[in-house]
Amino acid sequence: MRRFTLYQVDSFTTTRLEGNPAGVVPNADGLSEGEMQQIARELNNSETAFVLSPTAPDHEMWIRFFTPSIEVPSCGHATVAAHYVRAIERELPSCTVMQRIGIGVLPVDIVQRDDDYTIMMTQGRPEFEEPLSSPVAESISSALGLGPTDLDPRCPIQVVSTGHSKVLVGINSRDTLNRLTPNQHSLTEISHEIGCNGYYVFVLDLEGEDVQAHGRMFAPAIGIAEDPVTGNANGPLGAYLVKHGLATTSDGRFAFRALQGEAMGRPGIVEVEVTADGGTPELVKIGGRAVIAFRTELELG
């Protein structure tokens, strides 16, 4: 029998059963791609991370991410979870780890604080598509249950990526945000048309002392009706805020905290840092805390 360790880790929180749960298999060498997909389907988290041995000298670990239905190139909360498990298992000091993921080789900062860890990952270079045309934007708004007066006029509806693209939709009310009941079928159909499977709806509070953004993320086209707390949405949001002049940089840097998951009863905080050259975002980091919910073993023949 082959034995594999399975962790369930709640990312972007220090409270079990809050934040965003991710599966982690820290010793995934020997698993086939089909077996990884089956394990991810069995655990039924939005993503499960499989940690594999490096394939070249330029990285220390290779991570593959699977939703219950497909493999995805990058995942914020599962990256945090995988590196948190590795740091705990190895009792790591503060350090930087190079990881290979689907979008390339990128650094992850392991920050040891008070006998625990904060994990900060560098995401892919920000990429912006043109704001969506009015008919497509209106279709998305309608599928989300939003009317024209619900939208934040400062925020064009736009696809932005730091490794795994999201449609960013700014609205003007947290009450509206928390009441959303999207038409999942319509969102899935639109995803196939525009080539983007995630919709991040957000409300800005840039003068807030602790949290500057609140959001919800829907990705039914890849089997995720709603994701509790999404690194691959809040990273693009940081780049978007700089790009559109909604955020002010200091010495070329903008940092903020986003709260997500409130409507699901799984709140979590994502820390976002954007480095910019003038008004152009160049580098995005996201991260936060984590806590292990449980650990077990899986035996396979």
d(CA 204, CA 229): 16
d(CA 278, CA 275): 10
Question: CB–CB of 257/53 below 8 Å?
Answer: no
Angle 92-95-101 from CA coordinates, rounded to 5°: 95
Shortest CA distance to 193 belongs to which of 172, 167, 174?
167
What are the φ and ψ backbone dihedral angles of 295, each rounded to 5 degrees? -135, 140
d(CA 34, CA 165): 25
Question: CB–CB of 227/46 below 8 Å?
Answer: yes
Question: CB–CB of 66/80 below 8 Å?
Answer: no
Active site residues: 47
**In b/e form, how buried is each residue of 168-192, taking b as 16+ CB within 10 angstroms?**
bbbbeeeebbeebebebeebbebbe
